[in-house]
Structure 1
Amino acid sequence: MGAAVGKPAFGFAVAPRTQAEERLASAEHALLQWTRSPGADAGIWDAEANYTNRGLLAAVDEVLLLAEARPFPLPAASSARRRLDDAVGAATARMVEEFLRVRVWNASPLRGAVDRLSLASSGVSLLVFPSAGERASSASTGGELDASDGSRSGASSGVPDEVAALLDGECWDELDLVRPAGVAVLHEIALRMVRAGCAMELSRAFVNAPCDVLDWFLSILRVECSQRTTESVIKRWTTVTKIIGKAVVAMRGQLHAQNPGAFDSFRDEYLVAIAENRVLILLEFANGFTTITSHDKLVYMLGMYEALSDAAPNLLLLFSGARKELVSERIQDILTKLADAIKIMVGGVVAKVHGHSPHTPSAAGGGVHPLARDAMTCVELLARHRTTLDLILAGAAAADERGPLAGLVSELMAGLERSLQGKLAVACADAAGPRHLFLANNVSFILNRAADAGDVASLLGAAWAAVRRSRLERHVASYVESSWGPIAAVLETPVCGRGKPAKILAEFKAAFTKARDSEACREVADPKLRAALRNAVTEMVVPAYCAFLQKHPRLGESVRYTDDLAESLSELFEGEAAGGRKM
């Protein structure tokens, strides 16, 4: 039989346990069950902050009470003191485990936006110099699917509504991002860690704390890097950065709005730790793209620069001291690298316009040249980022009182016009009349695109537009004089020595029909320019025709012939699909 409690066993005396030792043994047993197989039990609370093991919490509290009471005086009870110290270590380790288990942040209101952003197609990439296929696709779909460059609203660009709402920033106050029950658990944990004198151990655990609100969005980048194009990854990074910049502000406000408790003194340190980790991940992603210098990525890099610039103040509000200095320096380093890359890209854009090959096919019938379309697309994109580019290009672009970007765009437009008026005009038209029509088409296109985009119009200025309108009028007049003046002159030249009036009229009709059939196949897409050209041709030809018939009334009734002539001229400039109609 076993020895009775308090009686000698095997010749040795066993001292009876004190009440404190009995309490310690009971608490040790509960804690050791977890220590021997951590994670196997349900813990004190589950992830949703529901109690699952009140007995284990009672054991933690018992150990802390014993530690505060110091019931084992030295040196006689040194063994019991060591056991108590070990038990306190186990209890605080249990608290750290509980801290890492509980979910404080509620990401469920963001589920729709995360899913839509994860699954959204990369869509049409509206590059600075898009390919012909991309231009056609963009025209048919009405623009980009993704507006993460910040230049379009969600409604107009096809960005999912849930994402657009987060970017606009108007819905954050309506989203419950904090779980009050989870915060209550943090207070319980902090209370016990402070009692145990282990506040530092709790603080060290903050960096590993879960935060679904931020982590869900960061997970999109990891998927994108392995499955998407560079442009798509940059656009997703830009969107995620904008959202996280707004999210941390909402998170901070909602956490501080919770009831005071033991965790309150840790709140800011906790937010800093979880934010720093995620912000550094964002910056590391951005740093990976700072070596890109191809000008066709310019719009995406501008979006990245602006997203980081806009988010930086909100992100830095969370930090202080050395941490703030570290994050601030890292952000500035990334912005500087992005700015350097953007300068190179902008230079590439200008060089492409200035060095454009004249052999690029023009539109049918000497219409708008692809270079003009590409250059105006470029200018529109640059104008949307005027504030950013004025900052980046300060001291690096042509001097202009309206700002660095205005000087650069003026240089770009001057290069475009030199190309259009020089080699391209010669390559696209083999005679004076068609060359002036080509130039009129392109000047009109440039003016209309500039006028339709208010930011472009303000960038180029009213004086610039006035000069181009005057130039357009001259091209119209020169085209009519070159192409239709000789035809009207057939009727205006004195008849003497040229044969009978009927022969002269037949000569006129032949020349008119040939010109009409040729010019009907030339395309003028701008309705106003097309109408102005038709009116100018009519004013050149019809009066001369009427005057000739009035001098020679026997040739027929002038009203009928005049109506036919005017009707025939209304078919001009419809493009290759238009068929010439003989008189």
Structure 2
Amino acid sequence: MGAAVAKALEYTADAPGTLAEARLAVAAHAVLQWDRSPDADAGIWDAEATCASRSLLSAVDEILHLKEIHAFPMASSARRRMDTALGVAMSRLMDEFLLLRVWDASQLEGGHGLRVAIERLSVSVLAPGGSGVCLAFPTGGSISTGELSVSTTDELHASDMSLSSWPDMLTTFVDGTAGLHEIHADDLHLIRPASLPVLHEIALRVIRAGYTKEFLQTFAKAPCHVLDRFLSILQLDRSFFAANRINFEDAEWWATEDMVKRWILATKLIEKALVVMQRQLMAQECGAFDRFKDAYFMAIAKQGILVLFKFADGFTSTRSPEKLIYVLELYEALSNSAPALLPLFTGQHAELISRQLPIVLAKLARALRAAIDDLITNIRTDCSQAVSETLGVGVHPLARHAMTCVELLAPHRAALDLILVNGGEDEGGAEGVTPFGSRASELIAGLERNLDEKSALACAGGSQSSRHLFLANNTDFVLNRAADAGVASLLGDEWAARRRSRLEQHAASYIQASWGPVVACLETAAVGGRGKPAKALAKFNAAFEKAHGSQVCREVPDPALRAAMRLAVKETVVTAYSAFLQKHPRLGKSVRYTADDLVESLSELFEGDAADGGKS
């Protein structure tokens, strides 16, 4: 035990008791008096895992030796002192274990290190569907929660890990890149080789002392700098870990977007990093620590996974439609990670993770169903903008918002079908319509009823032409956007056929309301009545000019519908006009327009403000 022990033995030579008691006194003194100062860089082992206090280890070994040779009777005070000293020694070793850097995160430091990890672990930073389009619109307000304060977006973007800069830097790395995982994953050397002998030294003494149960319990507090590096993406503060439960319900949509994107990236990294970490740890020869490797790995993996679960659970009270798409992406990421995460665990750890994961997913699913219900209700009852002359007859903002929601939800239809069917949702529509298709149909039906009511109220007691053109435009818009999103096929042929028929009816009703009275002027001329054809023509000219003047600035945004409606107007007006001229060839100078003139004039219809600007 060296000079210090010899000196202590000299000091205790005259003390009463056996030599074994004297040896215990010296060893116990060394253990009890040793303590790492709070700001010290090294204890028993320094930063390079080199033993910096061999005398302390010798003292521990001395106590273990006295225990193993049964130096003291069971009920003696010396035995109690030895047991106390051994307990303190084991506590010291376990403290040193918790301070040991087993995992090497040096390759992951800074933004460049994170990009390296993303590349070598073959992780995608794209959301499902690859879309960065927002479902929500800024609403203002502060961010606060009942249990935990949430950082603002300015704070979230303040670090070098700002999510706003990630897409440009990282989107070249995608999931499933051929061979990328196999080629690069083990290039990340995540274990510090110098720590392996230390693990053996600690485990050997723990086993000799019979403290394996306490050692296993210590694993729950073991640090892992690799997982900590990935969890730092979430930018969590101490209050997160102190709170029993967190709640992000009051976070604004833009803060929610940022937090969810961070969580998805962290989850993907941790999911794949754990596989590599497990493989690398199991490949190491750790001596006496080999018997603990499984339990140790599962303990640190469980810590990281439970942090992710706790973060995800913070969104389970969120039912705001503005945050629907972000919570849905979180649900998908968590659900998709399960097949890779669950096999990492066995025994009690597997039971815990297997129990917690479905609970969080079920709570997220419940929140998503509530958010979808609220979205449908909001669209059905929206009264923000009525149809008016100033708003025009084009596509209503509510229609754009509703169909944007449908388009954003469509790429997630598989997850939504599972969420909705598990929630007891009835298809409520045609045979073969999926749960998501049924809710999309319900959302669109609510939109259509709302727009019909708005247009009826705006046009009450007035001309119906604007109403029918408005409804034709919006019906056409819904059909086109549903087709673009791939939703029309989910809703069924009957759904699309009904709306095409409705579109044709509104177009025909518009033509009848706007141009029917113009054509009717030509029908008032009695055959053979002197002077009446000329009067009818003059009346037609006036009616045509008035109708043209009022309709030329009407807008039909869809080029295909615009062309079809122009053709229908021409067939209605020009055909009747040409027949009238043929029937009355002697009108002479009374004829102000040729049929071609009418065709040219009617070709200006439905351009909106562009037509008005072209005339001026």
* TM category, shorter: 0.7 to 0.9
| Aligned counterpart, 1:43 | 43
In the TM superposition, 1:128-167 aligns within 5 A as: 130=137, 160=167
Is residue 525–residue 532 contact of structure 2 (8 Å, CA) maintained in 1? no
Closer/same/farther in 2, CA of residues 65 and 350 from structure 1, 3 Å limit: same
Q: How far apart are the structure 2 equivalents of 1:255 and 1:559?
A: 93
Equivalent in 96, 99, 109 of residue 97 of structure 2: 99
Q: How far apart are the structure 2 equivalents of 1:202 and 1:100?
A: 10
| Aligned counterpart, 2:392 | 365
Closer/same/farther in 2, CA of residues 106 and 463 from structure 1, 3 Å limit: farther
1:231 aligns with 2:264: no
Pairs aligned (count): 542
Closer/same/farther in 2, CA of residues 531 and 270 from structure 1, 3 Å limit: same
| Aligned counterpart, 1:384 | 411
Q: How far apart are the structure 2 equivalents of 1:82 and 1:94?
A: 18
Closer/same/farther in 2, CA of residues 37 and 213 from structure 1, 3 Å limit: closer
| Aligned counterpart, 1:283 | 309
Q: How far did 1:358 drift?
A: 8.0
In the TM superposition, 1:155-194 aligns within 5 A as: 160=167, 168=175, 174-175=184-185, 176=188, 178-181=190-193, 184=196, 185-194=198-207
| Aligned counterpart, 2:489 | 458
Q: Percent identity?
A: 50
Q: How far apart are the structure 2 equivalents of 1:383 and 1:131?
A: 23
1:199 aligns with 2:212: yes
> Structure 2: which amino acid aligns with 1:576?
D
Closer/same/farther in 2, CA of residues 582 and 124 from structure 1, 3 Å limit: closer
Q: How far apart are the structure 1 equivalents of 2:614 and 2:411?
A: 46
Is residue 354–residue 416 contact of structure 1 (8 Å, CA) maintained in 2? yes
Q: How far apart are the structure 1 equivalents of 2:472 and 2:585?
A: 37
> Structure 2: which amino acid aligns with 1:214?
L
- TM-score for the superposition, normalised by structure 1: 0.77
Q: How far apart are the structure 2 equivalents of 1:39 and 1:91?
A: 21
Closer/same/farther in 2, CA of residues 36 and 244 from structure 1, 3 Å limit: closer
Q: How far apart are the structure 1 equivalents of 2:595 and 2:565?
A: 18
| Aligned counterpart, 2:326 | 300
More deviation in 237-246 or 386-395? 237-246
- TM-score for the superposition, normalised by structure 2: 0.73
1:530 aligns with 2:562: yes
Q: How far apart are the structure 2 equivalents of 1:291 and 1:228?
A: 11
Q: How far apart are the structure 1 equivalents of 2:101 and 2:459?
A: 68
| Aligned counterpart, 1:397 | 426
| Aligned counterpart, 1:60 | 57
Closer/same/farther in 2, CA of residues 110 and 360 from structure 1, 3 Å limit: farther
Q: How far did 1:472 drift?
A: 1.9
> Structure 1: which amino acid aligns with 2:412?
H
> Structure 2: which amino acid aligns with 1:472?
L
Q: How far did 1:414 drift?
A: 2.8
| Aligned counterpart, 2:294 | 268
Is residue 383–residue 459 contact of structure 1 (8 Å, CA) maintained in 2? no
Q: How far apart are the structure 1 equivalents of 2:278 and 2:580?
A: 87
In the TM superposition, 1:507-526 aligns within 5 A as: 507-526=539-558
Q: How far did 1:161 drift?
A: 5.7
Is residue 479–residue 499 contact of structure 2 (8 Å, CA) maintained in 1? yes
In the TM superposition, 1:311-330 aligns within 5 A as: 311-330=337-356
Closer/same/farther in 2, CA of residues 435 and 267 from structure 1, 3 Å limit: same
More deviation in 27-36 or 338-347? 27-36
Q: How far did 1:559 drift?
A: 12
Is residue 199–residue 286 contact of structure 2 (8 Å, CA) maintained in 1? no
Q: How far apart are the structure 1 equivalents of 2:223 and 2:317?
A: 32
| Aligned counterpart, 2:243 | none
Is residue 24–residue 63 contact of structure 1 (8 Å, CA) maintained in 2? no
| Aligned counterpart, 2:470 | 438
Is residue 106–residue 179 contact of structure 1 (8 Å, CA) maintained in 2? yes
More deviation in 65-74 or 567-576? 65-74
Closer/same/farther in 2, CA of residues 294 and 279 from structure 1, 3 Å limit: same
> Structure 1: which amino acid aligns with 2:220?
V
Q: How far apart are the structure 2 equivalents of 1:581 and 1:330?
A: 65
Closer/same/farther in 2, CA of residues 360 and 21 from structure 1, 3 Å limit: same
Closer/same/farther in 2, CA of residues 114 and 338 from structure 1, 3 Å limit: farther
Q: How far apart are the structure 2 equivalents of 1:472 and 1:381?
A: 25
Q: How far apart are the structure 1 equivalents of 2:113 and 2:507?
A: 55
RMSD: 4.5
Is residue 425–residue 435 contact of structure 1 (8 Å, CA) maintained in 2? yes
More deviation in 547-556 or 439-448? 547-556
| Aligned counterpart, 2:501 | 470
* Unmatched runs of 5 consecutive residues or more in structure 1: 134-145, 147-156
Q: How far did 1:520 drift?
A: 1.9
Q: How far apart are the structure 2 equivalents of 1:158 and 1:214?
A: 22
Q: How far did 1:576 drift?
A: 3.1
> Structure 2: which amino acid aligns with 1:565?
L
Give the secondary structure class of the aligned counterpart of 2:193: helix
Q: How far did 1:445 drift?
A: 0.2
Q: How far did 1:464 drift?
A: 1.7
Closer/same/farther in 2, CA of residues 67 and 349 from structure 1, 3 Å limit: closer
Q: How far apart are the structure 2 equivalents of 1:558 and 1:64?
A: 120
Deviations 1:418-457 (A, max 9, x none): 3333443442684232222111101110011011112x12
Q: How far apart are the structure 2 equivalents of 1:563 and 1:515?
A: 18
Closer/same/farther in 2, CA of residues 543 and 392 from structure 1, 3 Å limit: same
1:126 aligns with 2:137: no
Closer/same/farther in 2, CA of residues 361 and 190 from structure 1, 3 Å limit: farther
| Aligned counterpart, 1:222 | 236
Give the secondary structure class of the aligned counterpart of 1:484: helix
Q: How far apart are the structure 1 equivalents of 2:352 and 2:615?
A: 79
More deviation in 37-46 or 524-533? 37-46
1:112 aligns with 2:98: no
